[in-house]
A and B are shown apart, each in its own frame.
Chain A
Amino acid sequence: MALNIGCAAPPGKSRDNKTGSWRVFMPVITKEKCTMCGNCILLCPEGCIVEVDGYPVIDYDFCKGCGLCANECPSEAIAMIQEEK
């Protein structure tokens, strides 16, 4: 994808900004510990955790690694792992 001259962009272009690249710590869910309470889905400020087949799944393209989900998980099923890029 070539850049548009003059940093010009049509509407909706921000969807191409994969803000997940900002992340330093990556939330990783241990499915065995997850009680499917849905807290992480509700509390994620980016709205990037969705339910798939009853379990939370994180969209790493947009997760900025804030750690709110890990902090709020009542069963401590989410670990924040430092990423190597």
Chain B
Amino acid sequence: MKTNTLYAIYILWLRQIKRYFRSKSRIIGSLGQPILFLVALGYGLNSVFSASGNGNYIQFLAPGIIAMSILFSAIFSGIEIIWDRQFGFLKETLVAPVSRFTIMFGRTLGGATTASLQGILVLVISLFIGFRPDIADIIPGVIFMVLIAFVFTALGTAIASRLEDMQGFQLIMNFLVMPIFFLSGALFPLNTAPAAIKWIAFFNPLTYGVDGLRAVFTTAAIHSAWTDGIVLTVIALVFVSVGAWMFLKIKA
């Protein structure tokens, strides 16, 4: 029984991985935006940023853009449940003799893995654009990427469990995902930001992901890596539970 559940989780994880590597156009397509942000903002704003005494902007920006690409990729793979429902595959999993939690967890694991891979790809690209982290920081950096990926894949799953179709997707992108990105300190330092933005950022899960990546890769972080790590882990656990609970009530 136990091994069956684990194997089912593995099978569902494998499905996500296969789909990810098969859609080469999607991988390349989703790299366009982070590259554009790194080049246009990184080079464009570097002189202004360093003139105001904040140091090299690319060093500051790269962790934010890595977090962004994970955020988008993770939310999207969670939201894919809507596609699965519309095109029927979801029913195949819902009549299978495995628990809803197993299905949700396998999917989330797969989505989080592909989102993390996306983050690692952007990290590699940022090296060519001028980002210079320590080699020793790569492993803790990847741990943060995985945490961010889990938080937002679970969030995507929770949202998708409630949405009937893709019509609501634009709404989610513009009123949830974009604000999460722009108000996380990914693009600008939060310690000099207006109080209102600071306040919003305090409740934004991505803030701790971006800050955590900065804490391990650079020296520009607000909190310690441990603080960020613990906050993110707690949020990940809460979101996976909420996602599972929402998925439990999903209708075929």
Asked if A pairs with B, the answer is no
Q: A interface vs B, CB < 8 Å?
A: none
